[in-house]
């Protein structure tokens, strides 16, 4: 693809350099054969997803995208001018679902509706509610985090598609490479101790209300923050979810754990180098959800609208936990 704009050795912005030709129409035709109902244009993990995936990967545009997005060195890649601007929602989301399925196995974000395509935009009134509102439901910033940190099997990848970028000058997309967080922690003795503790200790992550099976119920996932995956370092991180988890499980709330979490949060929010880019309309952002943290700079424009799809490397039938077909 085109000349990359690089702010990190593993995170790139490029412009689409292939033609869709007839492939968008072919995708919509194929997807329509498998889904009699698009589930409010949000889709769901299809029981025949592996068969549909093979059929989709016969299309040159999806082969091309898969080659670029799954390039071994990339941990984040934005493709501008994707070519879906102005498409009706049903067709646009069918193509986004197909792109996601050609990279892995899209999971359902919402246990109640099973939707895999999730709208990121402010819900009216979200600023004044008491429930545990997640970042994708409100204006403002989003602290750096990994998605599904509070589930047993966080997805390995996610996609964001920019329908309407914020017009207020804010809302930049932020990504941090986990290796840069590790390097920053290694600079001080307190940082090294933090890394050791958060690689060993099980930390309680509380599930936000919107994702929980039941609004009233407190759901907790216990897991370490740092984890070795093959020869690389991976993270689960969602500071607000951990603080709410500690409030719900006070026996785990010790001074050394509090101090380690505070130090790591400071490194992440203030010191680690980050990719910071205002992504225009019709941009597709792909990221590794275990080896990067993501967030967004603050914004106020309520018309900002992105679509997110999370993607697992394993088929939904083999996954455990609430974001797979195998339900708790
Ligand atoms: Fe997120």
| Residue 158 Cα to ligand 1 middle (Å) | 9
Q: Which two tokens stand for residue 40?
A: 């409010």
Residue 119 phi, psi dihedral angles, 5° rounding: -80, 125
Q: What whole-number distance in Å separates Cα of residue 273 and Cα of residue 181?
A: 8
Please state, as a whole number, how many other Cβ atoms lie within 10 Å of the Cβ of residue 91.
18
Structure tokens at 328: 């708790």
Query: In angstroms, what is the span from residue 60 Cα to ligand 1's centroid?
Result: 30
How many angstroms separate the alpha carbon of residue 189 from the centre of ligand 1?
Answer: 30
Calculate how far, in angstroms, residue 41's C-alpha sits from the geometric centre of ligand 1: 20
HSE-up (13 A, CA, CB side) for residue 273: 9
Neighbouring C-beta atoms of residue 64, cutoff 10 Å = 18
Q: Are 75 and 10 in contact (CB under 8 A)?
A: yes
Cα of 25 vs centre of ligand 1, distance in Å, is 30
Place of tokens 């407190």: 218
Q: Which residues pair with 12 in a beta bridge?
A: 6, 77
Supply the CATH classification number for the domain 11-327: 3.60.130.10
Cα-to-centroid distance, 147 and ligand 1 (Å): 5
Give the residue from 104, 30, 97, 15 showing the smallest Cα distance to 66. 104
Burial of 184 (0-12, 13-18, 19+ CB in 10 A): buried
Could you tell me which residues come within 8 angstroms of residue 54 by beta carbon, excluding any fewer than 6 positions away? none
pLDDT along the chain (328 residues), means of 10: 56 93 97 95 95 98 92 88 96 98 92 88 63 69 91 94 91 94 97 98 86 70 94 95 95 97 97 93 97 92 93 91 42
Q: How far apart are CA 21 and CA 305, in angstroms?
A: 27
> Would you give the DSSP letter of residue 48?
T
Residue 45: strand, helix, or coil: coil
> Quick check: 283 and 80 in contact, CB under 8 A?
yes
Quote the CA–CA distance of 142 and 296 in Å, as a whole number: 5
pLDDT at residue 109 in the model: 80
Query: How many whole angstroms from 29 Cα to the centroid of ligand 1?
Result: 31
The pLDDT assigned to 5 comes to 47
- Cα-to-centroid distance, 295 and ligand 1 (Å): 7
Give the per-residue pLDDT at 84: 98
Give the β-pairing of 232-235 and 5-8: unpaired
pLDDT at 165: 93
Calculate how far, in angstroms, residue 302's C-alpha sits from the geometric centre of ligand 1. 18
Helix H or strand E segment including 266: helix 255-266
Q: Report the DSSP pairing between strands 105-106 and 118-120.
A: unpaired
What pLDDT score was predicted for residue 328?
31
Residue ranges covered by each domain of the chain: 11-327
Q: How far is the CA of 298 from the centre of ligand 1 (A)?
A: 14
pTM of the model: 0.90
Classify 284 as helix, strand or coil.
Answer: strand
| Best CA proximity match to 57, nearest among 13, 101, 18 | 101
CB atoms within 10 A of CB 19: 11
Asked if residues 185 and 195 have their Cβ atoms less than 8 Å apart, the reply is: yes
* CA pair distance 283, 85, nearest whole angstrom: 9
């Amino acid at each position: 693809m085109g000349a990359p704009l690089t702010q990190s050795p593993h995170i790139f912005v490029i412009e689409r350099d292939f033609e869709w030709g007839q492939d968008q129409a072919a995708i919509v035709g194929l997807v329509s054969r498998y889904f009699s109902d698009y589930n409010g244009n949000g889709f769901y993990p299809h029981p025949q997803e592996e068969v549909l995936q093979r059929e989709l990967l016969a299309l040159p545009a999806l082969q091309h995208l898969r080659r670029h997005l799954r390039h071994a060195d990339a941990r984040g890649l934005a493709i501008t001018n994707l070519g879906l601007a102005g498409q009706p929602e049903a067709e646009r989301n069918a193509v986004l679902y197909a792109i996601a399925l050609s990279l892995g196995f899209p999971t359902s974000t919402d246990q109640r509706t099973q939707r895999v395509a999730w709208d990121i935009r402010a819900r009216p009134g979200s600023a004044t509610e008491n429930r545990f509102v997640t970042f994708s439901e409100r204006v403002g910033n989003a602290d750096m985090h990994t998605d599904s940190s509070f589930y047993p099997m966080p997805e390995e990848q996610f996609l964001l598609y920019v329908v309407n970028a914020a017009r207020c000058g804010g809302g930049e997309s932020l990504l941090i490479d986990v290796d840069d967080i590790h390097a920053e922690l290694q600079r001080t003795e307190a940082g090294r101790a933090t890394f050791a503790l958060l690689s060993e200790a099980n930390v309680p992550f509380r599930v936000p209300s919107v994702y929980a099976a039941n609004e009233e119920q407190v759901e907790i996932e216990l897991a370490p923050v740092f984890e070795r995956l093959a020869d690389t370092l991976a993270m689960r991180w969602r500071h607000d979810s951990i603080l709410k988890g500690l409030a719900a499980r006070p026996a785990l709330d010790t001074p050394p754990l509090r101090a380690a979490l505070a130090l790591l949060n400071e490194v992440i929010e203030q010191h680690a180098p980050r990719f910071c880019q205002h992504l225009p309309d019709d941009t597709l952002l792909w990221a590794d959800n275990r080896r990067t943290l993501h967030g967004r700079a603050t914004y106020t424009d309520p018309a900002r609208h992105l679509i997110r799809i999370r993607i697992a490397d394993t088929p939904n039938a083999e996954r455990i936990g609430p974001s797979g077909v195998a339900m708790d």
